[in-house]
Chains A and B, each alone.
Chain A
Amino acid sequence: MAEILSLREAVERFVHDGDTLALEGFTHLIPTAASHELIRQNKKDLTLVRMTPDLVYDLLIGAGCARKLVFSWGGNPGVGSLHRLRDAVEKHWPHKLEISEHSHAAMANAYVSGASNLPFAVLRGYQGSDLVKVNPDIKFIDCPFTGEKLAAVPSVRPDVTVIHAQKADRKGNVLIQGILGVQKEAALAAKRCIVTVEEIVDDLQAPMNACVLPTWAITAVCVVPGGAHPSYAHGYYERDNRFYQAWDPIARDRETFTAWIDEYIRGTEDFAQYQAKVNGEAK
C-alpha cells in the first residue's frame, strides 16, 4: 500500500544520495515539484534517467545534484537549448557530468524491459548511428531464431521513479490520463515509486482500460497541486509556454541561474510557497 505523505517526507525517506532516479512524464505531467524538493534537500551524486531532460533536469544538473545523465533528447521544447545541461557537458560546470546517450526508441524499450524484469531490451535500431561508437551501453546481438542483428540496451531499473498524475483515491490508487509517455513503465521498473498528484478524491471514476497504478505497486503518494508546472496536467492546467521561454535567459548564465534557485527554491519551504512567490511577483 502506498503511504500518503508530504513530498518533503517522501523525498527524505525514499531518495538517497547516489541513487538512480527517473523523473518521467513526456512533455505532459513532468514532476517539477519533486525536482525542487531534491534541490532543497541537496541530494547528491544522482544518476538521472529521463527521455527528455527538460527543465527538471536542467535544474538538478545546474544545482549540482547529478553525477550522470541517461537521456535521449536534451532540448528546451519549442525554445532551444538546455543551458545548464550544455554547460555541464561542454564546460564541466558545476562539475563533470557523465552522459549515456540513447534514442527515444531505445529508452522507451529499456523502460518496458525494466518493468518486465528483464536485464535488457532488444530493438531494431541504431544500425549505422554514431551513438553506437560513443555509448558502450549499446550493443548488437544475433536473433537466435533468424540470425537478424538487433540492438540491445540495458533495462532502466531506477532506485526511485517519480511521476506526476492527475489524481489518487484515499487508498493511493493513481489515475493518469492524456499523454502517458513512459510513466507506467518507469513506475513499474523502479524499486520505489513516488507519485505526486493534483488532488486526492473519494472515487477515481476511472473508465475501463484507463491507466491506473494500483496502490500496492507504488510507495508514496503526495498531494502537490500544480506540481507539474510549467508542463501541464490534462484537465487541470495548460502548458505554460511563456515559462519555458522565460527559462532560457534565467538558465543561460551561471549567476542568474544560481540566484534564481537560491531565491525561489532554496529560499522557499515547499512548492506551495514557491508558487505563491512566483505568482505574487507576476501580479
Chain B
Amino acid sequence: MSDFNTNEMMTVAAARRLGNGSVCFVGIGLPSKAANLARLTHAPEVVLIYESGPIGAKPSVLPLSIGDGELAETADTVVPTGEIFRYWLQGGRIDVGFLGAAQVDKFGNINTTVIGDYQAPKVRLPGAGGAPEIAGSAKKVLIILKQGHRTFVDKLAFITSVGHGEGGDHRKRLGLPGDGPVAIITDLCIMEPEAGTNEFIVTSLHPGVTREQVIENTGWQVRFADEVTTTEAPKAEELAALRDLEARTAEAHGQKGGDE
C-alpha cells in the first residue's frame, strides 16, 4: 500500500500505539481521530474517556466538540465532569492520556496557552483544558501533532502541561504521578524519550521521509537514535477504516473534524 498521505501516516502510527483494552483519556481533534481508528481496527476493547463525561464512548463518526451527543449515547456510562477529573483521572485509572498541542519542546512539554508574552500576547491560544492534569496523572502520555519548526520549538513561550520538565528525573521531582509522554507522533516521524535524559529523539522515520526533512522541521537540534527504524506504512485495512471514518464524519457534520 503506497497510496497514502502524511496525515494518514501520522494518524495510523498514533493509533497503533493504543493497546487493546487500555483506558484512554482522549483529547479532541487528532487524538480523538487516532483513538477511534484504534478502536475500529486492532483495539476494539479500548475504553475511550472524554472529559465532558462519557466513559467507554463508541462514536460512529468523529465528534466535533468534546461533548457531542453521540459520545453520551454510545458510552457505557456518563458521569459529571468533576467526577471524570477526580475519580477517574486523579484516581489513577487512566492508562493513556492522548493529547494534541500547539507547540512542544524537546522534553515533551506542551504549550496551548499563548505565543509571546502572557500579559501582552502575540497570539492568544485556547488554553489548558484538561491537559495539565492528563499530562500529570495518566500512566503514560501520547502526543500527536504535525511537525514544523514553529510547532517543535527550542523554548516554549509558556509551559501549559508538563512532559519531562527540564529533562532527566525532573518530572518525578515535581511530584507528577504518571510516567509522562512516551512518544510524539508526527506526520514525519516518531520521537521517543532517550533513556536517562528524557530528551525526545527520533526513533522511527515514516516511509519516504529523510533525516534532513525532520531537521528542517524541528526548532531544536534534533537528535536521532542509534538505530532509526522505518515506520510500517499504513496497511490496506487501516487506511480503509480511516477513510471510512473521515467520510462518515464529513457526511454527518459537513466538515471533517479532527484536523485542527
Contacts and interface: CB of A to CB of B under 8 A. Distances in A.
B243 to A, nearest CB: 20
Given A130-B158, A179-B53, A179-B71, A125 B132 contact: yes
Interface residues of B, number: 58
A77 B52 CA distance: 13
A109 B162 contact: no
A105 B133 contact: yes
B78 A123 contact: no
Nearest to A77: B65
Interface string A76-100: 0110111001100110000000000
B68 A239 contact: yes
A28 to B, nearest CB: 5
Contacts of A179: 52-54, 67, 69, 71-72, 78
B254 interface: yes
A72 B72 contact: no
Interface string B39-74: 000000000000111100000000011111101100
Nearest to B131: A103
B50 to A, nearest CB: 9
Interface in B202-254: 253-254
Given A105-B85, A131-B132, A27 B67 contact: yes
A238 B71 CA distance: 13
Interface in B116-144: 118-119, 121-133, 136-137
A162 B174 CA distance: 38
B132 A149 contact: no
A273 interface: no
Interface in A110-152: 111-112, 123-131, 134, 148-149
Given A75-B126, A234-B72, A239 B64 contact: yes
A127 B174 contact: yes
Interface in A167-196: 178-182, 184-185
Interface in B88-147: 89-90, 113, 118-119, 121-133, 136-137
A78 B121 contact: no
Contacts of B197: none
A185 B176 contact: no
B35 interface: no
A26 B81 contact: yes
B175 interface: yes
Contacts of B132: 103, 105, 125-126, 129, 131
Given A128-B165, A128-B174, A130-B113, A72 B69 contact: no
Nearest to A89: B124
Interface of B: 28, 51-54, 64-69, 71-72, 78-82, 84-86, 89-90, 113, 118-119, 121-133, 136-137, 158-162, 165, 170-171, 174-177, 253-255, 257, 260
Interface of A: 26-28, 51, 71-75, 77-78, 80-82, 85-86, 89-90, 101-105, 108-109, 111-112, 123-131, 134, 148-149, 178-182, 184-185, 232, 234, 238-239, 241-242, 244-245
Given A90-B124, A101-B128, A104-B133, 6 more contacts: A103-B133, A108-B86, A123-B90, A130-B158, A182-B81, A185-B80
